[in-house]
Amino acid sequence: MADEEHAELTRLVEQNDLTDIRLWLAEHPPYEIADELERMDSRLAIVPFRLLDKDRELEVFEELDPVHQHEILLGLRDSAFHELLEEMDPDDRARLIGEAPAKIATRALAGLSPAERKMTAALLGYPEESVGRYMTPQTVILHRDLTVGRALEVVRAKGSQAEIVYTLPVVDDGRRLAGTVELSDLVISDDETLLKDIVDVLVARVQATEPAEGAARLMQDANLVALPVVDSEERFVGLLTFDDALELIEAADSEDIARQSAASPVAGHYVAVTVPRLARARVLWLFLLIIASTLTVTVLQGFEATLEEVTALALFIPMLMGTGGNVGSQSATAIVRALAIGEVRVRDLPKVAWKECRVGFMLGCILAAIALLIGWVVVPGGVSIAVAGSVIAICTWAAVIGSTMPLLARRVGVDPAVVSAPMVTTLVDATGLLIYFAIAQAVLGI
């Protein structure tokens, strides 16, 4: 159905059927329209976007990823360009401008009203990928000495200007964060109750300069709708909302998945990304992996005499390399994921290594029984025993390597996902061959 709808919209745009395009847009929600626009060529996508009414135009625009937002902006006249940016939420606008080419950024800032420009500039002053770039400063701030009745009046008066009113920050005289109060608590409390008596003073908070991904993970762990953001002196500066947190987590997970598959992350909708861009994102890692795989060639050259003496050993090299690589990949993937969601920390390295060592040994014993059976059928005798012993040793070693490399990467400040499964597999292939030939020489006496 989605493919048919995409084909239909593309056909209508190519035929310049403006009436039916408007009907199609009216029948679909903003997120579906945004998805279809991202699949289209930018020259075509601008046509249906211009036909949206003002209210839906902003909703659709904020659903687009930054790459397609930039393309849409380039196709708009100055009046529409500035009106669209003026209506955006400050945090979304700041991220858009921060990631935009200089030409778009300059044009965008120049057209904003003084108030919106000041708000945007303040957010752009925070480091890239920090919470400050993602928080919204448009909130309803309540003083801790207000009564519930008075607080509700403030919410009614200022709520329309705020991005979120479900969670309300409560501050003291110096604008220092005292805690938060939920709108639902205000509604069910007595009007004469003081906010300081119902405020949640233990609510989690982060500083504006802290990493945004960490703040989003904190919201996920604490099940928060909004997370208060403060400066170095504990003064309230904004809220990180759940929709931005979800986008941060999705982006981080997508980046990790890309790196774990030995590729660089690619911004934009997959369907709209060109073949050269996809190739560029993958070729560097593949180049590094093919260089690293020369270790395997070097090991084979070193044991060339052993292979000439017992040629049957070569039959099992693919099986051993594949098994070790798979075990290492499983281990690496599990630890990278556990690191991302905070289940393990760098200080857990010894515990993790010991646990994965035992897991690898158990898997090795199970797989060794199968390898022994296969080996005995193909080449009865000492070779099959050497293969079975090698499976146990390689599986144990691969599990340890796969689990410790991401932790060591985090310790030295490298993204654990960079130590991806293909990299672990390449390393296990080379070291696994050393283990195999060492065991074979011991068992066969060569």
Residue 367 has pLDDT above 90, yes or no: yes
- Residue 165 is assigned to a structural domain of this protein: yes
**What residue numbers bound the domain in which 96 lies?**
3-132
Residue 12 has pLDDT above 70, yes or no: yes
* pLDDT attached to residue 81: 80
- Residue 275 is assigned to a structural domain of this protein: no
CA-based nearest residue to 163, from 97, 243, 83: 243
In this structure, the answer to whether residues 298 and 435 fall within a common structural domain is yes
CATH number of the domain residue 113 falls in: 1.25.60.10
- Residue 67 is assigned to a structural domain of this protein: yes
Residue 6 has pLDDT above 60, yes or no: no
Q: Which residue has the higher pLDDT, 185 or 76?
A: 185
**pLDDT tens-digit map of 302-322:** 777 777 767 788 888 889 988
Which region among 11-15, 162-166, 268-272 has the lowest average model confidence (pLDDT)?
A: 268-272
- Residue 288 is assigned to a structural domain of this protein: no
**pLDDT tens-digit map of 121-145:** 888 889 988 999 999 999 999 999 9
In this structure, the answer to whether residues 308 and 344 fall within a common structural domain is yes
In this structure, the answer to whether residues 211 and 316 fall within a common structural domain is no
In this structure, the answer to whether residues 106 and 203 fall within a common structural domain is no
**pLDDT tens-digit map of 256-279:** 776 666 566 666 666 666 778 777
**pLDDT tens-digit map of 96-112:** 888 777 777 888 888 78
Provide the terminal-to-terminal Cα distance of the chain, rounded to the nearest Å. Answer: 65
Instruction: Please say which residue of 103, 132, 161 terminates a domain.
Output: 132
Which region among 96-100, 183-187, 237-241, 433-437 has the lowest average model confidence (pLDDT)?
A: 96-100
* pLDDT attached to residue 115: 86
In this structure, the answer to whether residues 121 and 147 fall within a common structural domain is no
CATH number of the domain residue 421 falls in: 1.10.357.20
* pLDDT attached to residue 252: 80
Q: What's the rounded mean pLDDT across residues 277-283?
A: 74
Q: Which residue has the higher pLDDT, 340 or 228?
A: 228
* pLDDT attached to residue 71: 83
In this structure, the answer to whether residues 329 and 434 fall within a common structural domain is yes
Residue 285 has pLDDT above 80, yes or no: no
Instruction: Please say which residue of 108, 132, 156 terminates a domain.
Output: 132
* pLDDT attached to residue 336: 85
In this structure, the answer to whether residues 217 and 297 fall within a common structural domain is no
- Residue 365 is assigned to a structural domain of this protein: yes
In this structure, the answer to whether residues 363 and 238 fall within a common structural domain is no
Which region among 179-183, 281-285, 352-356 has the lowest average model confidence (pLDDT)?
A: 281-285
CATH number of the domain residue 221 falls in: 3.10.580.10
In this structure, the answer to whether residues 58 and 156 fall within a common structural domain is no
Provide the token pair at 365: 């014993």
Residue 286 has pLDDT above 80, yes or no: no
- Residue 243 is assigned to a structural domain of this protein: yes
* pLDDT attached to residue 204: 93
- Residue 285 is assigned to a structural domain of this protein: no
- Residue 185 is assigned to a structural domain of this protein: yes
> SS3 sequence, the chain?
CHHHHHHHHHHHHHCCCHHHHHHHHHCCCHHHHHHHHHHCCHHHHHHHHHCCCHHHHHHHHHHCCHHHHHHHHHCCCHHHHHHHHHHCCHHHHHHHHHHCCHHHHHHHHHHCCHHHHHHHHHHHCCCCCEHHHHCECCCCCEECCCEHHHHHHHHHHHHHHCCCCCEEEEECCCCEEEEEEEHHHHHHCCCCCEHHHCCECCCCCEECCCEHHHHHHHHHHHCCCEEEEECCCCEEEEEEEHHHHHHHHHHHHHHHHHHHCCCCCCCCCHHHCCHHHHHHHHHHHHHHHHHHCHHHHHHHHHCHHHHHHCHHHHHHHHHHHHHHHHHHHHHHHHHHHHHHCCCCCHHHHHHHHHHHHHHHHHHHHHHHHHHHHHHHHHCCCHHHHHHHHHHHHHHHHHHHHHHHHHHHHHHCCCCHHHCCHHHHHHHHHHHHHHHHHHHHHHHHCC
Residue 440 has pLDDT above 70, yes or no: yes
Pairing, β 226-230 against β 236-241: antiparallel
For the chain, what is the domain count?
3
Q: What's the rounded mean pLDDT across residues 198-204?
A: 92
In this structure, the answer to whether residues 125 and 20 fall within a common structural domain is yes
Residue 2 has pLDDT above 60, yes or no: no
Instruction: Please say which residue of 250, 276, 311 terminates a domain.
Output: 250
Indicate the average pLDDT of the chain.
85
Residue 364 has pLDDT above 90, yes or no: yes
Q: What's the rounded mean pLDDT across residues 192-206?
A: 93
* pLDDT attached to residue 234: 93
**pLDDT tens-digit map of 377-413:** 887 778 889 999 999 999 999 999 999 999 998 888 8
Q: Which residue has the higher pLDDT, 288 or 358?
A: 358
pLDDT confidence bin for 194, thresholds 50/70/90: very high
10 Å Cβ neighbour count for 297?
Answer: 10
Contacts with 50 (C-beta within 8 Å, 6 or more apart), sequence order: 75, 76, 80
Share of the chain above pLDDT 70, in %: 93
- The Cα–Cα gap between 378 and 375 comes to 5
* pLDDT attached to residue 351: 94
In this structure, the answer to whether residues 183 and 223 fall within a common structural domain is yes
Q: Which residue has the higher pLDDT, 365 or 6?
A: 365
Q: What's the rounded mean pLDDT across residues 442-446?
A: 81
Residue 1 has pLDDT above 60, yes or no: no
In this structure, the answer to whether residues 225 and 344 fall within a common structural domain is no
